[in-house]
Structure 1
């Protein structure tokens, strides 16, 4: 079962921008894991292949249901103490969630966690849909598949943090149908236990694009990705099974993200509902 958990955080001292990078938040997550299972924390730290979790950048703003709403991915000013923050952690592997159950159920409200020199209190963990928090959710893989539509031919995504796709030795920022749906397919097949055959993408066409590129400088080298909205349509004579699989993958995007560096906060993506007619 994939889980998308939102942690509400309260810093007890200011957090400087230098400690708000994906690398430092990745280290904080591994510290949380190691607090209940050091062997698992070490294994996740050493993993070089596709990882079974994703993280968001630390957020200081509420997250309303706006289809064009992007998140914060860089901070140029310190986050002041006692600023309410939230942080999304998604877990794709049932085993990983079960091993961390002790952590979620036994959080000590008086025990701070450390992000650089700053102390952070975890005040609440949200794991189910909220009126004002679209990033919290959980759903069985079998349920994701069963509830996926066999008739919905419009697939729309909101890229909330910069996304880029690896092609050979280099990155591409273009959200082609192959980059997007094959990224989802590889993660679905690895973790769901419901393997899909390679998708027939010849019937999938981009129908709306409203994106821009963003450059992040807080990596060893600059990272360029796209944010915004992209829609695809399934056209022509397509079997219901193929439509269902594509819809299941689109719904899965909330949990797994898209493209590179998802364990560092990049590629946060969710499906959105739009109402556009063909013109």
Structure 2
């Protein structure tokens, strides 16, 4: 089961937070796991392969100034957690969420937990889906789309030789989705799907800008905004697999450092729908 849950917060004191605060959310995530399930916390921390979760930074506070977010008492904000396996989704529901304290710390600031959103009706970034049902819906579609509109809500970057690639080239983008699907999905897809995307998926349009993510000594340049890709020359079965991965990105994110807040992604409705 795929889960995307939004945790809604209210600031209790004034202060500032780094604009790139994914590490603060990451710290809260693991600190609470240490409280409710230490063995699982250690397992998640030790696993250096694909992470079975993603985290957003704290969102909803407005534009940063000089790399800092100003927080006023009573300010509303939220962050998002997603889980990519049935086991972790179950523990999230049974332990992490029910035992979340009324007050949590993000960096130096205390926040009151005001709500949890688990459905799209409650928050547009919340939803749950069985992976098997997602696969059936998209892979058995006899007429899959030829074009996909994507939104990157937080800075998104990809590994490249010697550094970071701050642009979602089709091979890198679809490759990042494919690696997570192969690790956690119920049915394997062809390993050469990313190579196929590199060769035959086109960028139709984009409205992106780069954003630096500064965390201590590390700076990652990522992109935020909208991208449209198309695959007019692919066969229906190939397009169906890309359609599945594009939908999966809502939970899996795009690119690297998704457990620290990068790569929050959603598939947008087709134009005119």
Closer/same/farther in 2, CA of residues 170 and 19 from structure 1, 3 Å limit:
closer
The aligned counterpart of 1:130 is: 121
Q: What are the ranges of 5 or more consecutive residues in structure 1 without an aligned counterpart? A: 63-70
Structure 1 position 112, deviation (Å): 1.8
Structure 2 residue 2 is the aligned partner of structure 1 residue 6: no
Closer/same/farther in 2, CA of residues 73 and 224 from structure 1, 3 Å limit:
farther
Question: Which of 82, 86, 94 is 2:78 aligned to?
Answer: 86
Structure 2 residue 138 is the aligned partner of structure 1 residue 141: no
What count of residue pairs does the alignment treat as equivalent? 265
Closer/same/farther in 2, CA of residues 252 and 74 from structure 1, 3 Å limit:
farther
**Hey, which of these two has a bigger chunk of strand by percent?**
2
The residue correspondences of 1:23-172 to structure 2 (distance < 5 A) are 23-60=23-60, 76-103=68-95, 106-107=98-99, 111-130=102-121, 133-148=123-138, 149=141, 150-172=143-165
Q: 2: distance between equivalents of 1:258 and 1:82?
A: 32
Q: 2: distance between equivalents of 1:31 and 1:51?
A: 17
Closer/same/farther in 2, CA of residues 215 and 106 from structure 1, 3 Å limit:
closer
Closer/same/farther in 2, CA of residues 45 and 14 from structure 1, 3 Å limit:
farther
Q: CA RMSD in A?
A: 2.5
| 8 Å CA contact retained: 1:59, 1:72 | no
Q: What are the ranges of 5 or more consecutive residues in structure 2 without an aligned counterpart? A: none
TM-score (ref. length: structure 1): 0.86
Closer/same/farther in 2, CA of residues 32 and 128 from structure 1, 3 Å limit:
same
Any idea what SS the aligned residue of 1:223 has? strand
TM-score (ref. length: structure 2): 0.88
